[in-house]
């Protein structure tokens, strides 16, 4: 898991802009909302692997 801090700018319920905290080109960060995101790239990998089915054909394992 990796924590990422971003700045986000909203227009009521529509997202207008998102920048990383370390973005040197962003000059509007003072009016943005700071959010902390948690990135878990492999969070559902076990569930995904359970759903897949494999069969052996001519000595080679193939995914259905």
Global pTM value:
0.54
Residues 6+ apart with CB under 8 A from 28: 9, 17
Per residue in 3-54, pLDDT tens?
988 888 888 889 988 888 888 888 777 788 888 989 887 877 777 777 667 7
- Domain span including residue 28: 2-63
Question: What's the DSSP call for residue 29?
Answer: G
Q: Write out pLDDT tens, residues 42-63.
A: 877 777 777 667 777 787 777 6
Number of folded domains that form the chain? 1
């Amino acid at each position: 898991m990796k924590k990422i801090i971003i700045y986000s700018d909203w227009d009521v319920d529509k997202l207008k802009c998102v920048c990383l905290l370390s973005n040197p080109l962003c000059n509007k960060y003072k009016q943005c909302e700071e959010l902390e995101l948690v990135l878990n790239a492999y969070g559902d990998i076990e569930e995904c692997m359970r759903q897949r089915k494999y069969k052996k054909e001519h000595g080679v394992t193939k995914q259905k």
